[in-house]
Structure 1
Amino acid sequence: MNQAGKERRWALLSLLLLGMWFSLLVMYRQGPLIRKVVSVRDTVFGLQKENHGVKQVILLTQMRSGSSFTGHLLMAASSTFYTEEPVREFLGAEPTTLDETAAAIALLRDISLCRFSARPDYYERRLLGTHHHNPDTVRLCYDSNQVCRDPATNEALCLAARVRLTRVVSLDLAALTPLLRDPDLTLYIIHLVRDPRGTLASRQDLRKYFDEKARNMSAVCSRYRRDLHTADVFKASHPDRYIFLRYEDLSLHTSQNLLRLYRTLDLPYTAVVSAAVARHTLGYSGNTNNSYGTFRNSSATVFQWRKRLSFAEVTRVQQECQDVMLSYGYRIFTSHQEYQDPGVQVLLTNTS
């Protein structure tokens, strides 16, 4: 079956599933029947017993590193179910203890398996929180609050998706090891990194949300340093399911790098996806001045930090992060003159 045929198959599957769900819900509107609907759904489509090539994907990065932009590009595929930063939304902060990390991993596992009914506490926060999750869910919430608030609705949408994508900014890469080894999951990890100098400039622009500690690149680079070791382990143990991606490469060569991701995840790169890429990268749609927005001229803005950070600020970051930056392929500027020369490229290697 060609890619267009696959896309139509999954679209029809989603429509049939939602049609069955809404028809039964409107006819009866009874809580016990909702569980029966879920049971019928599972029996008819076999979505829990048969994997149908479903992939669970975690987009792992740090705050202000381009993950919202990346997530929206992957969400352009109609067969993607998207969850945005559930760990911080559920725990209220980044995990700092082993118990909190274990709780975060358990939550990610349930989300990857579409078990929203088992997480009523998280599901309530998912609906009422500030993060933007799966767009189909958002549309349902506008149309019917009752349907939206029932977790079985999201389970249906999630189970019908080919890729279940979750964005995570609050965990080390090593914390995902149990999920990567879980026999019930086919987990792919997209490890997104950004030049720490760009991250600093972005956080400085949002001082209202990032205190002085968050603007100290020591913690950012310490985590990158830990993740470097884990990345080597994952590349050796699961070379087909660990994907390294620099935000800069995605911004400069969006179609090329996104096509690589879509192929790895077996997602169809359709005309609809191409149109979404254009909207997000050419600055023709949306509010391009919104710091949290994902619509901008990505190739023109990716190195804007060179105009906003002084050479003294850049030097401090480089002193703290030099080993990490070189490992990820970022240039260390050695003089003010070199830093101001637009002909001196930031990227040392092409990882795309």
Structure 2
Amino acid sequence: MRIKYTISLVFILALVIIEKENNIISRVSDKLALKQTPQTPLQQGISSPLLLKYNGSFTTLSKLDPAFTLMKRRLENYTEHEVAPNGRKHILLLATTRTGSSFVGEFFNQQDDNMFYLFEPLWHVERSLTLETGGTNSTAASAAYRDVLRQLFLCDFTMLESFIEPRPMDHITTALFRRESSSSLCEESVCSPIVKKVFERYHCRTRRCGPLNLTMASESCLQKEHRAIKSVRVRQLETLRPLAEDPRLDVKFIQLVRDPRAVLASRMVAFSAKYKNWKKWAVDGDVPIDDDEVRKLKGNCDNIRMSAEVGLRQPPWLRRRYMLVRYEDIARFPMRKAADMYRFTGIPFTPQVKNWILQNTQASKEASGVYSTQKNSSEQVEKWRFRIPYKIAQVVQRVCGPTLKLFGYKIVNSEAMLTDKSISLIEEKNFNFT
């Protein structure tokens, strides 16, 4: 009996060790995939399933008796450091550019007493993986985004450091993108002494700090009860499934969407140089439906819609973890929608956040710049209708029709309808789940 117990225990320990080795191999494979070039292809076999001998024959770990897999998971769950502490939430705000995500991100950034908030940390990852053609390898990027997000939610900045240029020295950087947009990275506990003759592009505005010490940032993160990250770079929600299934995390996904016609109108203003073709078409020409820019627009709409369809289906791994929010609803009812988001996350909606919302949703025209988080929010909903020509709106409707329909945005059939503010283009829809 003692021998049988010993053999079982050894076998279980072996499974745990094998799984750890498998994770290491997977991580190495991911790292190689990120760095591969046409001259240095991935080694064959590096990502093949790990083999082990069981009952006299070779098999993969995934084909082992499910009872042993379940037992291993229970053992891991009983290990304190492998399980998310009770009450700690990890919030990921997913969006695309010009959807109001910086504004909505402030709903969590302003709760700095118990929230560690990061603004677009994946900017460094995307920049590092951008090809000469201007695009990225979607498979490699998705894996990198997932793994960096995981480590950041665990307050580990070491993986992100490998993507920051220039590379941090002794975990100190002067180049973290938009540091000043994260109040957590400008707190006194993270504010290192100022070093003379050191230029920091994204320096704190609330106090004079030296270069960012990522070790100090990590320590501050560990002290906070909750963690939130805002990103416009994740293309497909499905790629983040490992985060939802990681027992160390309790992730809540909030997907922010906006009328694609409004998004395009905003991008034509904010990123004028990149949208020269659209501006030209708007003035003096028909839009070629087979143009690369039009295909890119369709691809963006399809990605947003497919992610939302996954979330709205509420598969088991996303149950009670996904919320869809329209920017238009937030702009019209900021306090109500903020309360809904906090209720969804399970975090108290504090007076500190409520006061910020009251002060920043009635901003003057002078304060409401292109990149400002101060908005007269109710006016923002309609502005795009007077910025985009009807023929451009028609193109968006043609290539993004299913996306418009899913999110409840009405089709316009004339220029008069487009610019008639008495006609709402927003259907009343409830995407929330109980």
Q: Normalising TM by the smaller chain, what interval?
A: 0.7 to 0.9
- What value does the CA root-mean-square deviation take over the aligned residues? 2.7
Give the structure 1 partner of residue 153 of structure 2. Answer: 112
Matched, 1:62 2:62: no
Q: Which whole-Å deviations, capped at 9, do the CAs of 1:106-165 have from their partners, x for residues lacking one?
A: 111000110124543357497513424431322446552488633221112212222211
Give the structure 1 partner of residue 122 of structure 2. Answer: 87
Q: Which whole-Å deviations, capped at 9, do the CAs of 1:305-331 have from their partners, x for residues lacking one?
A: 011112111111111111110111111
Give the structure 2 partner of residue 319 of structure 1. Answer: 398
Matched, 1:278 2:358: yes
Is the Cα contact below 8 Å between 2:243 and 2:249 reproduced in 1? yes
Give the SS at the match of 1:165: strand
Give the structure 1 partner of residue 105 of structure 2. Answer: 71
Distance across 1 between alignment mates of 2:117 and 2:377: 22
Distance across 1 between alignment mates of 2:367 and 2:360: 9
Distance across 1 between alignment mates of 2:421 and 2:94: 31
Give the structure 2 partner of residue 24 of structure 1. Answer: none
**Which one of the candidate residues 379, 384, 389 is aligned to 1:300?**
379
Give the SS at the match of 2:305: helix
Give the structure 1 partner of residue 225 of structure 2. Answer: 162
Give the SS at the match of 2:162: helix
Distance across 1 between alignment mates of 2:400 and 2:250: 33
Change in Cα spacing, 1:305 to 1:119, as seen in structure 2 (3 Å) is closer
Give the SS at the match of 1:110: helix
Matched, 1:178 2:257: no
Matched, 1:134 2:207: no
Change in Cα spacing, 1:334 to 1:272, as seen in structure 2 (3 Å) is same
Change in Cα spacing, 1:268 to 1:89, as seen in structure 2 (3 Å) is same
Give the SS at the match of 1:128: coil
Is the Cα contact below 8 Å between 1:47 and 1:159 reproduced in 2? no
**Structure 1 residue 184: Cα displacement:** 1.5
Q: Which whole-Å deviations, capped at 9, do the CAs of 1:279-317 have from their partners, x for residues lacking one?
A: 221105x95242111101011112200111121111111
Structure 1, gaps ≥5 residues long = 1-45
Distance across 1 between alignment mates of 2:84 and 2:258: 37
Give the SS at the match of 1:177: helix
Change in Cα spacing, 1:188 to 1:61, as seen in structure 2 (3 Å) is same
Is the Cα contact below 8 Å between 1:117 and 1:152 reproduced in 2? no
Distance across 1 between alignment mates of 2:361 and 2:94: 21
Give the SS at the match of 2:382: coil
Structure with larger Rg: 2
Distance across 1 between alignment mates of 2:348 and 2:297: 38
Could you tell which deviates more after superposition, 106-115 or 218-227?
218-227
Distance across 2 between alignment mates of 1:254 and 1:229: 25
Change in Cα spacing, 1:129 to 1:117, as seen in structure 2 (3 Å) is closer
Is the Cα contact below 8 Å between 2:382 and 2:421 reproduced in 1? no
Matched, 1:252 2:332: yes
**Structure 1 residue 100: Cα displacement:** 2.7
**Which one of the candidate residues 310, 314, 321 is aligned to 1:230?**
310
Is the Cα contact below 8 Å between 2:173 and 2:211 reproduced in 1? no
Is the Cα contact below 8 Å between 1:287 and 1:293 reproduced in 2? no
Change in Cα spacing, 1:131 to 1:59, as seen in structure 2 (3 Å) is same
Give the SS at the match of 1:210: helix
Identity between Structure 1 and Structure 2 (%)? 24
Give the structure 1 partner of residue 53 of structure 2. Answer: none
Distance across 2 between alignment mates of 1:214 and 1:279: 38
Is the Cα contact below 8 Å between 2:362 and 2:377 reproduced in 1? yes
Q: How many residues align?
A: 306
Distance across 1 between alignment mates of 2:273 and 2:254: 26
Distance across 1 between alignment mates of 2:413 and 2:87: 49
Change in Cα spacing, 1:271 to 1:235, as seen in structure 2 (3 Å) is same
Distance across 2 between alignment mates of 1:287 and 1:114: 38
**Which one of the candidate residues 370, 384, 396 is aligned to 1:291?**
370
Give the SS at the match of 2:93: strand
Matched, 1:210 2:274: yes
Give the structure 2 partner of residue 17 of structure 1. Answer: none
Q: Which whole-Å deviations, capped at 9, do the CAs of 1:145-199 have from their partners, x for residues lacking one?
A: 4886332211122122222111111112222111111122111100111100110
Aligned partner letter, 2:148: L
**Structure 1 residue 224: Cα displacement:** 2.0
Distance across 2 between alignment mates of 1:189 and 1:111: 15
Aligned partner letter, 2:221: C
Q: By percentage of residues, which structure has more helix?
A: 1
Aligned partner letter, 2:419: Q
Alignment of 1:19-58 (within 5 A): 51-58=85-92
Change in Cα spacing, 1:339 to 1:117, as seen in structure 2 (3 Å) is closer
Give the structure 1 partner of residue 283 of structure 2. Answer: none
Structure 2, gaps ≥5 residues long = 1-79, 196-209, 278-291
Change in Cα spacing, 1:57 to 1:333, as seen in structure 2 (3 Å) is same
